[in-house]
Chains A and B, each alone.
Chain A
């Protein structure tokens, strides 16, 4: 039984955060847009973006996982487009790095909470 609507897992920007919702799903909140995923799907996404950020920008990276993830780069607009199933998110390269760190930090927090056997505590870290 949950007694909260939304609990912050991590945050690295005034508008960017990851929350645990009362139904146990995770909300990646980027201000104007957000993604709501099951925890396993969130881990898949974190693994994908962690892998994808290590690949040169000109390549398009596609996963065969569920949820399916795609990352592409437009030289024309110098933006990265991340597709997660039906959702499209566009980032400038520096923003995408921050997004990856947000996901990684949330995953670390969730794993630490799993090992401790307690709900994830609120953690905040610098965007840089």
Chain B
């Protein structure tokens, strides 16, 4: 992306959350107090994982997985745990539908996607639960 362009807003929800196409070509998932920067291809993977998090699941389930990147569900806390490389995000399940809608909109704006193949790992959820 040429440097004279400004970043492009792909989606927002009016609550300090936004998905932004940065001038360096990367995508910023901005959740206010925390954010995640990734390539468009990685963002597509991330978006699919978040969208998968809006489905139904049982405690301890790995809802979605792409390599080392995972979405887990901790039912007793009503949270979704998103592991994306070095970043861990905990999202309330009530936040997921809005975030998933933002992701869908952003992905549609970005164009076609090539999701990574699913995997069936075992991962202890206990290490990622709230303190």
**Which secondary structure dominates where chain A touches chain B?**
strand
Residue from B83, B88, B89, B124 having most chain A Cβ neighbours under 10 A: B88
Which of A5, A14, A29, A88 makes the CB contact (< 8 A) with B35?
Answer: A88
Hey, which chain A residues are within 8 Å of B126, CB to CB? Answer: 5-6
In the bound complex, CA of A46 to CA of B127 (Å):
22
Per-residue A-contact encoding for B32-72, CB less than 8 Å = 1, 0 else: 11111110000000000000000000000000000000000
User: B90 interface residue, CB < 8 Å from A?
Assistant: yes
Q: Interface size class for chain B?
A: 20 to 34
Q: Give the interface segment out of A31-39, A49-57, A114-122.
A: A31-39
**Are B28 and A88 closer than 8 Å at their CB atoms?**
yes
- Give the contacts of B3-46 with A (CB-CB under 8 A): 28, 30, 32-38
B87 at the interface (CB under 8 A from A): yes
B 97-124 binary contact with A (CB < 8 Å = 1; else 0): 0000000000000000000000000001
Name 6 interchain pairs, CB-CB below 8 A, sorted by A.
A21-B127, A31-B90, A32-B33, A33-B87, A36-B88, A86-B38
Residue from B32, B84, B90 having most chain A Cβ neighbours under 10 A: B90
Mostly, the B contact residues are strand
A86→B87 contact, CB < 8 A: yes
Tell me if B131 and A88 are in contact (CB < 8 A).
no
Residues from chain A with a CB closer than 8 A to the CB of B88 are 27, 29, 33-36
A100 at the interface (CB under 8 A from B): no
Within the complex, the shortest CB–CB distance from B79 to chain A, in Å, comes to 9
* Chain A residues within an 8 Å CB radius of B85: 86
A37-65: CB near B (< 8 Å → 1, else 0) gives: 10000000000000000000000000000
Task: Determine whether B76 belongs to the interface, using a CB cutoff of 8 Å to chain A.
Answer: no
B89 touches A88 (CB 8 A): no
Is the CB–CB distance between A89 and B37 below 8 Å?
no
Q: Which 9 A-B pairs have the closest CB atoms?
A: A88-B35, A34-B88, A33-B34, A6-B127, A5-B127, A87-B87, A86-B37, A5-B126, A90-B33
- Min CB–CB distance B118 → chain A (angstroms): 22
